[in-house]
Amino acid sequence: MPLLALDELAALVPDGALIALPPDNSLTPSALARTLARAGRRGLRVLGVPVSGYATDLLIGAGCVASVQSSGVSLGEAGFAPRFGAALKAGRIGMTDATCPAIHTMLQAAEKGVPFMPLRGIIGSDILAHRPDWRVIDNPFAEDGDPIVLLPALAPDIAAFHALMADRDGNVYVGRRQELATMAHAARRTLVTVERVTDADLLEDERLAAGTISATYIEAVAIAERGAWPVALLDEYPADAAHFAEYARLARTDEGFAAYLDRYVFAPSAQAAAE
């Protein structure tokens, strides 16, 4: 398993990549996002699985993002995602609306290697009028008209997330966050930051195997201690509510966000933490 430095892991994300990111309640790769911002990545197409938060808003504010597909972008209890809102109003990014079940369904189709999967719950919603790539057909197994929506498979170029640990073989423990396994199975490449590497074989441990993604689906891993911060990481550490509040306050303006970047992304102490 390649064990890389954080900046080496970020170098595997090219400009323009379709990158799938989990929400703030599911192992967000915050340290990787800050490293991508520091590296000046451009044109990223972010897929929020199924919603987006801190990492996406940071990348948007840093000018790294061209478009977002998600069912929502927010900072949760800290309020709206300010850089997302500002960029959208200014026309600097594109936005493709989706729903949580739709995003999971499209990834599941890619995971299973099929061109599409059906979903029924969005029939009757306005979102269908804005998604020409979603097709409504009659259920071929029904005798009478029975509309069903077909969603195309969606295979991200890269899936990225933070996890508690990996083992020496590259197996990664994500606990109950099985949506991350779907992301890894669907994506062409999966890049993971972890708190630590263990000498134990995670797939041989009956207590951990069910929450472990096989190294078959992991391209590379980097150690990033507190790599989800300010987001929580399982039982390892809680969300930093004070930092979220600071981010939400500063990111309301261009000047405030620039100060945030100087303090937490470009400052020598922030760069040293990524090495």
Domain CATH number, residue 215: 3.40.1080.10
Nearest Cα neighbor of 226 from 190, 174, 273 is 273
What pairs with residue 223 in β-bridges?
194
Same-domain check for residues 147 and 211: no
Same-domain check for residues 183 and 92: yes
Give how many domains the chain has, as a whole number.
Answer: 2
Domain assignment present for residue 103? The answer is: no
- Cα 74 from Cα 72, distance rounded (Å): 7
231, 54 contact by CB (below 8 A):
yes
114, 150 contact by CB (below 8 A):
no
Same-domain check for residues 49 and 122: no
Same-domain check for residues 121 and 189: no
Its domain, for residue 132, covers 116-152
Measured in whole angstroms, how far is the alpha carbon of residue 108 from the centre of its chain?
16
- What b/e sequence results for 43-66 when a residue is b if at least 16 CB atoms lie within 10 Å of its CB, and e otherwise? ebbbbbbbbbbbbbbbbbbbbbbb
Domain assignment present for residue 107? The answer is: no
Which residues have CB under 8 Å from 245's CB, separation 6+?
A: 78
Same-domain check for residues 165 and 90: yes
- Cα 116 from Cα 134, distance rounded (Å): 10
Same-domain check for residues 132 and 160: no
H helices within 95-253, ranges in order?
100-112, 179-186, 241-250
Same-domain check for residues 77 and 181: yes
Domain assignment present for residue 218? The answer is: yes
Domain assignment present for residue 105? The answer is: no
Please state at what angle helix 30-39 crosses helix 54-61, rounded to 10 degrees: 10
Domain assignment present for residue 138? The answer is: yes
Same-domain check for residues 148 and 160: no
161, 172 contact by CB (below 8 A):
no
Same-domain check for residues 124 and 235: no
Domain assignment present for residue 249? The answer is: yes
Same-domain check for residues 221 and 242: yes
Same-domain check for residues 256 and 134: no
Same-domain check for residues 92 and 146: no
Per-residue pLDDT of the chain (275 residues; tens, 9 = 90+): 679 999 999 999 999 999 999 999 989 999 999 999 999 999 999 999 999 999 999 999 999 999 999 999 999 999 999 999 999 999 999 999 999 999 999 999 999 999 999 999 899 899 999 999 999 999 999 988 899 999 999 999 999 999 999 999 999 999 999 999 999 999 999 999 999 999 999 999 999 999 999 999 999 999 999 999 999 999 999 999 999 999 999 999 999 999 999 999 998 877 666 66
